[in-house]
């Protein structure tokens, strides 16, 4: 069944070719499988590369969510299926989260890291039970994953929370994971039970 997949990624136009190649591969596979791309609405960087490749391939829908300031500055890809304009960044994230069945983090900058960590935290607190994939292209996320291990080792978080996300180096494998993901039953009180220490 087709999914609405929120992809967080870079808006930089100055990256090594491997990052654009992976973004386009992911987009091509998503379009071929008739998935919907939910993304930041940009026409530049990995964001623009993904949306343009999906348009070229055909078969999937593209939903862009962009703050009004960025749209007015000319950063919106206007030719996609649906453009949602928000007042600011916080509204943008909320809409992207709501429209998504699953999440993928391609390499990105501060915004991508912030979006990824927030969606992992919300899953930890049981506000959602959606699949999260960290697509580790060319070892980009290795230092972050090492920091996660350090966090677990020093007991700032329980190691079982590594199950909140899946790490992949291959777009096809990442989509296979999303398509076969079986979420845990929803919590009756989101965000409450997990705040209490376990005995």
d(CA 97, CA 18): 27
Q: Render pLDDT for 34-86 as a digit per residue (tens, 0 to 9).
A: 999 999 999 999 999 999 999 999 999 999 999 999 999 999 999 999 999 99
Q: Render pLDDT for 86-99 as a digit per residue (tens, 0 to 9).
A: 999 999 999 999 99
Q: Is the pLDDT of residue 199 over 50?
A: no
**What is the dihedral angle through the alpha carbons of 180, 181, 186, 190, rounded to the nearest 10 degrees?**
-150
What is the band of 184 on the pLDDT scale with cuts at 50, 70, 90? confident
Least Cα distance to 132 among 107, 163, 172, 110 occurs for: 163
d(CA 48, CA 176): 24
In a domain, 24, yes or no: yes
pLDDT value for 1: 87
Q: Render pLDDT for 1-11 as a digit per residue (tens, 0 to 9).
A: 899 999 999 99
In a domain, 191, yes or no: no
d(CA 173, CA 177): 6
Q: What SS3 state is found at 40?
A: coil
C-alpha dist (Å) from residue 101 to 1, 49, 186: 11, 22, 14
In a domain, 144, yes or no: yes
pLDDT value for 130: 97
- Domain with 68, as residue range(s), is 4-178
In a domain, 185, yes or no: no
In a domain, 192, yes or no: no
Least Cα distance to 44 among 83, 71, 82 occurs for: 71
Calculate the average pLDDT of the chain.
Answer: 93
> Number of folded domains in the chain?
1
Q: For the whole model, what pTM was predicted?
A: 0.91
pLDDT value for 195: 52
% of the chain beyond a pLDDT of 90:
90
In a domain, 195, yes or no: no
CATH code, 80: 3.40.50.450
pLDDT value for 189: 52
Least Cα distance to 135 among 100, 105, 111 occurs for: 105
């Amino acid at each position: 069944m087709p999914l609405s997949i929120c992809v967080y990624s870079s808006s930089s136009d100055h990256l090594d070719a491997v990052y654009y190649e992976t973004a386009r591969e992911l987009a091509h596979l998503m379009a071929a499988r008739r998935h919907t791309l939910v993304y930041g609405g940009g026409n530049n960087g990995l964001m623009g590369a993904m949306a343009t490749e999906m348009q070229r391939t055909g078969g999937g829908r593209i939903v862009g969510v962009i703050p009004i300031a960025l749209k007015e500055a000319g950063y919106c890809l206007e030719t996609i299926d649906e453009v949602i304009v928000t007042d600011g960044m916080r509204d943008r994230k909320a809409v992207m989260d709501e429209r998504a069945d699953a999440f993928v983090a391609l390499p990105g900058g501060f915004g991508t890291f912030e979006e990824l960590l927030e969606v992992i935290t919300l899953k930890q607190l049981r506000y959602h039970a959606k699949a999260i994939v960290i697509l580790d292209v060319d070892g980009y996320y290795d230092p972050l994953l090492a920091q996660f291990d350090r966090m677990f080792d020093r007991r700032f978080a329980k190691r079982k929370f590594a199950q909140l996300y899946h790490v992949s180096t291959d777009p096809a494998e990442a989509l296979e994971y999303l398509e076969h993901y079986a979420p845990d039953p929803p919590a009756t009180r989101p965000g409450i039970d997990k705040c209490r220490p376990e005995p």
